[in-house]
Structure 1
């Protein structure tokens, strides 16, 4: 009798624990419902935006390529390890990330950007088993969204995978699970896991890009102010990929600001061309500005430009995504 009693107690406790987890993390996303997607190509939404003065138009209606974008961490305060999708404040910030980071790709592809129960910032700053579990939960949503996308929308089309910070970490996992040495790899135009430390040899069959038109590769960088030397350069980023998003090469040569296609402020006011000189140094991307930078509108703290990894190179990414797409389509006779 006692074993049955203990079993019932255990099952009851498991039920409460599971219910508590679901309540804490909010609703589990159902990707059949459009409300769990921040951007979809067949509706008018924030993924269609382009900044004033942008010389490369939005082209989702005619695009032959898809873009699957994963937004970064915007869940910075609060108790639970994962954000609830009922949190309107977090949802609003996630949408702003799509506006600033996914729209560089709407000139070359149809943009798909899922909502997901992102891990709290403390999953990175504090780490530990709880942090890993939070990141695993976040990735489980991304995986579910990507599988839904593959089943219902991809239809064999070429695809670009892009993400920033936490989104880049999930991009890294998607590439390993779905692309690296898998049949789907032949559909990979390129991957842009930006603002995260990814080892050069992290993938068996997906190399680091070293030219503006290389396909089937990945490009990544982490931006700091010129001359910045931190312990991270020798620990966290040692051996990690860093591609200059102006030259699209891994070479350490200085690239003059005249080559810079343009950054876009977070408020989408205009395109700032020839804004910065760039250089790869110790697996970090150094930037030096040709004129005073509006720190508020480019969101940076001191010498760390992590938050602006994409915005500083908005037009460079936009042009490059089109160039890589055209190279892929030509190479594959599409």
Structure 2
């Protein structure tokens, strides 16, 4: 399912470098030339046992206070609700999206300054939504380069498999390190959510750990409600106060053109071994916290609008609506003025969290409160 799904992220860069017209005419070819490595895949060295005990292997974890991007808040923002007491906080495991764009190798080295800086920007706008309800753990991992999603070469899948091994190692350390009864929230975006779907299948489904999951936010990646969810160990979040369940959405302004995503999605096989073709995507409305619903802009508690250099953002309430369409995509009305990285087809993938940051924050608090209720 990963192959060619993230073409639109490459589109963001291509649009900047080549211009919209060139992208529309030669988009797929340009992206493959620009991003797909032409080198052989080299198997990564297996990480040493317990390597994630080193705080340097994390961009966010409880011990990291200085320059922790997950602790960021918009200027002037203050939570109106009381903080959860220390003994009742969740542990949040967050997997960041693709930040490595180079084509000289298939997996990001851990010391790549550019991709690490980009990942920290993503964490500020995404993982920060969860910092009111618990401690965020966000591992560094040797993620697949963007080009791995844009090719049929077997090296692309090899790169994704290698990245997933790092995620598994980080998650296993995370689970072993936190108290054995601490509630857990799982979250990711894009490539991070791809790894999260597999993690749910391989580490949560059918295990006692499933009972500790408050919710899993599988954002910016297509999930088949029929052919994936039954193998992922949790139910769909059908109501705003439900727990032990999964949320997922992909954001498009209108008119939305997601034909390319559907073409790829319809060629893939679900976790249950059946074709995903013509099955509906799981669509959570992040404003309402339920599925397949509509919400007016007035119900949006706050959208993050970044400044020009992405160093900060302001919170603007009431500007973006949301509704799930029949195929399972989240439609947000007219294109909002949120920044220059809207992608072809009115795809707001880059802003999946930013569009609904305050509502996601409220959603996590509400589910955490319900989870802790006697």
Give the TM-score normalised by structure 1.
Answer: 0.85
Aligned counterpart in structure 2 of residue 279 of structure 1, from 323, 339, 345: 323
How far did residue 306 of structure 1 move?
0.4
Checking the alignment, whether the CA contact within 8 Å between 1:180 and 1:203 is kept in structure 2 is no
| Aligned-pair CA distance for 1:49 | 1.2
* Paired residues, number: 308
CA distance in 2, matches of 1:232, 1:292: 22
The answer as to 2:287 corresponding to 1:246 is yes
C-alpha change, 1:310 and 1:28, in structure 2 (3 Å) is: farther
What displacement does 1:258 show?
A: 0.4
Match of 1:87 among 108, 112, 129: 112
CA distance in 2, matches of 1:251, 1:21: 42
Deviations 1:165-206 (A, max 9, x none): 000011111111111121110001000010001111313341
Q: 1:168 aligns with which of 175, 178, 193?
A: 193
What is the correspondence of 1:115-134 to structure 2 with a 5 Å cutoff? Answer: 115-134=140-159
Unmatched 5+ stretches in structure 2: 1-40, 267-278
**1:252-291 correspondence to structure 2 within 5 Å:** 252=293, 254-266=294-306, 267=310, 268-281=312-325, 282-289=327-334
Q: How does 1:110-259 map to 2 (within 5 A)?
A: 110-201=135-226, 202-204=228-230, 205-232=233-260, 234-235=262-263, 236=265, 238-252=279-293, 254-259=294-299
Cα distance per residue 1:66-100 (max 9 Å; x no partner): 10000000111232110000111111111111111
SS state at 1:111 partner: strand
Scaled by the length of structure 2, the TM-score of the pair is 0.76
The whole-number CA distance in structure 2 between the counterparts of 1:182 and 1:26 is 25
CA distance in 1 between counterparts of 2:64 and 2:106 reads 32
How far, CA to CA, are the matches of 1:221 and 1:129 in structure 2?
28
Alignment partner of 1:32 is 2:32 = no
Q: Structure 1's 156 and 249: CA in aligned 2 closer, same or farther, altered over 3 A?
A: same
Equivalent in the alignment of 2:343: 301
Give the corresponding residue for 2:74: 51
Deviation track 1:283-316 (CA, whole Å, cap 9, x = no partner) reads 1111125x951423xx322411001011111111
**Separation in 1, partners of 2:153, 2:50:** 25
Cα distance in structure 2, aligned partners of 1:38 and 1:60 = 23
Pair member with larger Rg: 1
Deviation, structure 1 residue 135 = 0.7
* Paired residues of 1:76 and 1:120 also in contact (CA < 8 A): yes
Structure 1 gaps of 5+ residues are: 1-18
Tell me how far apart the structure 1 counterparts of residues 261 and 146 of structure 2 sit (CA, whole Å): 21
Shift of 1:130: 1.0
The answer as to whether partners of 2:50 and 2:173 remain within 8 angstroms in 1 is no
Contact persistence 1:261–1:315 (CA under 8 A) = yes
Q: Give the superposition deviation at 1:320.
A: 0.4
CA distance in 1, matches of 2:213, 2:135: 14
For residue 89 of structure 2, the aligned residue among 59, 64, 82 is: 64
